[in-house]
Amino acid sequence: MIEEGTAGRHMVYSGNVFDVRYGATNPLSTDNGWPNPPHKSVLDPVGANYTVSRSGMGQVNADHWASGDDPTADDLLHPRWTDYRQILTHYYTQIDIRDAAENPLTPYLRWNALSLDWGTAGNTPPIMSSGESHPLTVVIQNTGKGTWYSNQAQTHYFTYHYYNPRTGTTDSSGNWETVATGIAPGVETTVLISINDVPSWYEPGPYILQLDMIRQTGIPQSLEWFSDQGWPTLNIPVCLNGPCQVFLPIVMKNYSQ
């Protein structure tokens, strides 16, 4: 469920409040609007069935992201966002969210997943075992404040962790995939990553695959995990090292940790 109790929280762009534009629905992409940014055109795949074009947030579209349910043919590709900040930073480019005391509630480094494609029947994650590799195609959007680069100065990576509900711990990350360079705020890019590195000591059962991003900068190298900066991971229930012995709703919509 999207967080409630947001009284006093507000959006700013370049430190200033602005007139927010929004409507009932948006089509596949929002319109450019004024001021721009933050009213920059962004891809909004949950709006594929709608035709009226507007700038800013579509209220019905936002409900699709929050519920993980929408009426499009590729409904199962769309993840569910469980944090209201994911929705607002998706529709309003390079904004900050602050509380009533002007404390920042959004980090500089942010991302959203716009679609997840496992290439399986029903688009459900396969049962994964140690030594196996499973491709996952993810369309990700830069919802942060700076451009993503992959060069000598800095490199951005898409990656994941495994969360072990039995121990309550997040284990070391798996494969890292370099993100294309020059991805400006509000822009999306596609990443194909191999999900592997399942710990051999994991007993069969349900776990959580946590999708995350990293920025690597400087010499010596410094790693900044987006989740360590306060941005949510995208959590996907999975079965590892054998069938789950308990009910696990491995449906792309409505998953949560």
Per-position DSSP letters for 226-252, written without gaps between them: TGGGTPPPEEEEEEESS--SS-----S
Between the alpha carbon of residue 202 and those of residues 93, 166, 173, 174, the distances in Å are 40, 10, 15, 14
Is there a single domain that holds both residue 137 and residue 75? no
Is there a single domain that holds both residue 152 and residue 98? no
How do 177-178 and 188-195 pair as beta strands? unpaired
Residue 248 in any domain: the answer is no
Any idea what the CATH number is for the domain that residue 153 is in? 2.60.40
Between the alpha carbon of residue 125 and those of residues 59, 168, 206, 238, the distances in Å are 29, 22, 12, 6
| Bond from prior residue into 199 cis (ω within 30 degrees of 0) | no
Residue 254 in any domain: the answer is no
Is there a single domain that holds both residue 175 and residue 228? yes
DSSP H or E stretch at residue 170: strand 169-171
Is there a single domain that holds both residue 164 and residue 207? yes
Residue 255 in any domain: the answer is no
Is there a single domain that holds both residue 85 and residue 151? no
Is there a single domain that holds both residue 95 and residue 161? no
List the pLDDT tens digit at each of the 257 positions of the chain. 455 567 889 999 999 999 999 999 999 999 999 999 999 999 999 998 898 888 999 999 999 999 887 766 567 788 999 999 999 999 999 999 999 999 999 999 999 999 999 999 889 999 999 999 999 999 999 999 999 999 888 999 999 999 999 899 998 778 999 999 999 999 999 999 999 999 999 999 999 999 999 999 987 789 999 999 999 999 999 999 998 865 445 444 444 44
DSSP H or E stretch at residue 171: strand 169-171
Q: Are 94 and 145 in contact (CB under 8 A)?
A: yes
- Burial (CB < 10 A; 0-12, 13-18, 19+), residue 192, is exposed
Residue 257 in any domain: the answer is no
Is there a single domain that holds both residue 195 and residue 232? yes
Domain that residue 47 falls in = 1-106
Domain boundary among 50, 81, 106: 106
Residue 246 in any domain: the answer is no
Is there a single domain that holds both residue 20 and residue 46? yes
DSSP H or E stretch at residue 90: helix 84-91
Q: Give the C-alpha separation, 16 to 89, whole Å.
A: 16
Between the alpha carbon of residue 66 and those of residues 31, 52, 56, 166, 183, the distances in Å are 21, 21, 16, 28, 25
Quote the number of domains for the chain: 2
Residue 250 in any domain: the answer is no
Query: What's at 216, amino acid-wise?
Result: Q
- pTM summary value: 0.91
Is there a single domain that holds both residue 54 and residue 159? no
How do 169-171 and 177-178 pair as beta strands? unpaired
Strand partners, 34: none
Is there a single domain that holds both residue 71 and residue 96? yes
